[in-house]
Structure 1
Amino acid sequence: MTASAHPEPLPDLASQLQRYFELGIPALAGVTEGDLGDAAADLQSQAAPSGTPLLALHPDLIPARALAPLLAREGRPGFVVEDWSDLEDFTTVPTVELPPAPLYLVHGIDRGDHLRGASPEEALTALAGDERSPLTLHEGISWLLQEPGRLEPNHCFMTIATRRPKPRGGYDSRTPALWISGGTGRDGAARRGAPKVGWCWWRNRHTWLGFASAAGRAGK
């Protein structure tokens, strides 16, 4: 069973907000629980009746590097790959418009298992043809903070709406992905099985990486 084929509903928005409180997101972001609670309350009327959306953390609220250790799998915390020193230079691509709020809604999330084996370049074209929007790295992390079980062996995913612009135009060929560490190389044996925030090349294909996407976003 895969998340794409048989998705389970996300917890309700109040439970998702409480999860962020339990993880200490307000303190890490330098805001109060009341601040985030007010932001979440503003979104209640925009939740679609067909299914509970993801309550996503905006990239401006807290850096991805600060969120990575909050991911967990089999008792092991998440981490950012050692060679990703410029993670903070990766931003949301202009074709994906995020609501200007610390919290916003992401509707109809799919892990993109059917696109495993495609390159990011090929997957982007396929998603556009299906009128779906690729997830950002923050949205992918937000999803796994709410539902850690979405990260499974051979069913991990890329978040290709986050990229690093080049000074003279175009993008860096690295693209963010979320997968499970094998505990080899610089990861270290102690991280075997841990959630890993890493990157892959834009034109490379991987049979175990899907391409997470959404039907839409909403917020104030």
Structure 2
Amino acid sequence: MTETPETAETPFDRAAEFDRQVRTLVDRGYPSLAGVGPEAFAAAVAPLRDRATATTGPCDIDGGRIPFLLVVARGAAPIEETMPRTTLHRGRLPGFVDRSFEPGSLERFVVPEEIGLPDGDIYLLLDVERGEEFCGVVPGEAMKTVAERKRTPLTIEEGVALVTHFPEVLAKNKCFSLGGSRCGDRRVPALWISKRAPKLGWCWEGNPHTWLGMASAGGRSAG
């Protein structure tokens, strides 16, 4: 169960939220994916706790705004293994990778050099927005606007983390592209709902969709 969105009456407990996200990853088998036990995994993420609790900004789950996310890099948790560990809110069917990704193509969707990622297999994504304001906007233009705001588009792994920790964020007509992972062509990865489950697919950077925004974040931190 996710935390209640922050209001004046119910302040968002960042320490409790960090612990919840750790439990979520442990419960979904991320330690075994990374080749460690639950205790070693918890010890590895512990240095991020102070940075997470020091974050500011609202937690508005319905509005798609999250102060921080624990992200496990694909080197420790392959996308093919993490997508089936996602579900929709109150759903049971596992997420999946669309067949439009030809065999081996996910490995070619990497982070552009101008974005960069923190060192290490686990880090924090900060000030996350689902980005439904970009629904109906050409993805290429949405990414330009994100860059102009000094924000960064989410990678595939970060999108998976968002749905893993907050499945409510992936909602009908409020799905999102992941412009932080590219493979050198016009394809932009995206997460949307298909067959009552989360689906990782892609869309052309020049084609707008009324139900597909552009997720972004304020930054990343390794501690």
- The runs of 5 or more residues in structure 1 that have no matched partner are 1-6, 165-170, 182-191
Corresponding residue of 1:90: 109
Runs of 4+ in 1 over 4 A off after TM superposition: 7-11
1:173 aligns with 2:200: no
1:194 aligns with 2:197: yes
Give the Å deviation of 1:95.
Answer: 1.5
Q: Normalised by the size of structure 2, how large is the TM-score?
A: 0.83
- Structure 2 counterpart of 1:66, which letter? E
Give the Å deviation of 1:130.
Answer: 1.2
Pick which of 56-65 and 109-118 moved more: 56-65
Tell me, in whole angstroms, the C-alpha distance in 1 between the residues paired with 2:157 and 2:222: 16
Please list the CA deviations of residues 9-45 of structure 1 after superposition, one character each: whole Å capped at 9, or x if unmatched.
Answer: 6761111011101001111222222332122111122
After the TM superposition, which residues 109-120 of structure 1 pair with which residues of structure 2 at under 5 Å, given as runs?
Answer: 109-120=128-139
1:136 aligns with 2:155: yes
1:151 aligns with 2:173: no
2:188 partner SS: strand
After the TM superposition, which residues 46-57 of structure 1 pair with which residues of structure 2 at under 5 Å, given as runs?
Answer: 46-47=51-52, 48-51=54-57, 52-57=67-72
Corresponding residue of 1:42: 47
Corresponding residue of 2:23: 18
Tell me, in whole angstroms, the C-alpha distance in 2 between the residues paired with 1:210 and 1:72: 20
Tell me, in whole angstroms, the C-alpha distance in 2 between the residues paired with 1:93 and 1:59: 15
Give the Å deviation of 1:203.
Answer: 1.1
1:76 partner SS: coil
Tell me, in whole angstroms, the C-alpha distance in 1 between the residues paired with 2:84 and 2:49: 29
Q: Is the 8 A contact 1:160 1:211 kept in 2?
A: yes
Aligned residue pairs: how many?
198
